[in-house]
Amino acid sequence: MLPDIEATSGGVPSRQPLKALPTTSTRDVHGHTIRGVAIDPQTRCAHWHSPLDIIALLIHCCGDWFPCYDCHQEATDHPATVWPFDERATEAILCGTCGHTLTINQYLTCESTCPACSAPFNPDCTTHAHLYFQVD
Ligand SMILES: [Zn+2]
Ligand SMILES: [Zn+2]
Ligand SMILES: [Zn+2]
């Protein structure tokens, strides 16, 4: 995981009143409606916003696109379900750079590089694959 580069620079942060949770919103990215928190034009979000965090995922339970699992949890009121093995031919991953959609199989074997535009994906995402896909 990358360090948070938004750390305060100078001065001790003073006690703030509790902020309201960030509100979820939608954004159209390459023709897909993405739901989540603080989505940028390449599908980064409030939770994952390094230069490499450029994929969105179609979440199995609602069939909607989200930048990440946490965005799904904040934008909906139900637990996410995972894509079963026999649905790995589903195009469930969106490259936020070029708009190419990958099947789950393609994503799990692409070695964190978009097969269409060669943009690098965050390799850490594959360690969270079990949140989205049925794995071994
Ligand atoms: Zn859902
Ligand atoms: Zn998120
Ligand atoms: Zn791409």
Structural domain including 77 reads: 25-132
Residue 65 lies in a domain: yes
Residue 17 lies in a domain: no
Residue 126 lies in a domain: yes
Cβ neighbour number for residue 50 with a 10 Å cutoff: 14
In a 3-state reduction of DSSP, which class is residue 69? helix
Residue 128 lies in a domain: yes
Q: Kindly list the distances between the CA atom of residue 54 and the CA atoms of 5, 17, 120, in Å, as whole numbers in the listed order.
A: 18, 32, 8
Residue 20 lies in a domain: no
Question: Global pTM?
Answer: 0.83
C-alpha 121 to ligand 2 mean position (Å): 15
Residue 52 lies in a domain: yes
Q: Kindly list the distances between the CA atom of residue 131 and the CA atoms of 20, 33, 79, 98, 109, in Å, as whole numbers in the listed order.
A: 26, 21, 10, 24, 17
pLDDT per residue over 68-122, tens digit each?
999 999 999 999 999 999 999 999 999 999 999 999 999 999 999 999 999 999 9
pLDDT on residue 21 = 60
Q: How far apart are CA 54 and CA 110, in angstroms?
A: 14
Residue 49 lies in a domain: yes
Residue 3 lies in a domain: no
Q: How far apart are CA 5 and CA 50, in angstroms?
A: 10
Q: How many domains does the chain have?
A: 1
User: Nearest bound ligand to CA 35?
Assistant: 2
C-alpha 19 to ligand 1 mean position (Å): 25
Stronger pLDDT, 130 or 19, i.e. the higher one: 130
C-alpha 59 to ligand 1 mean position (Å): 6
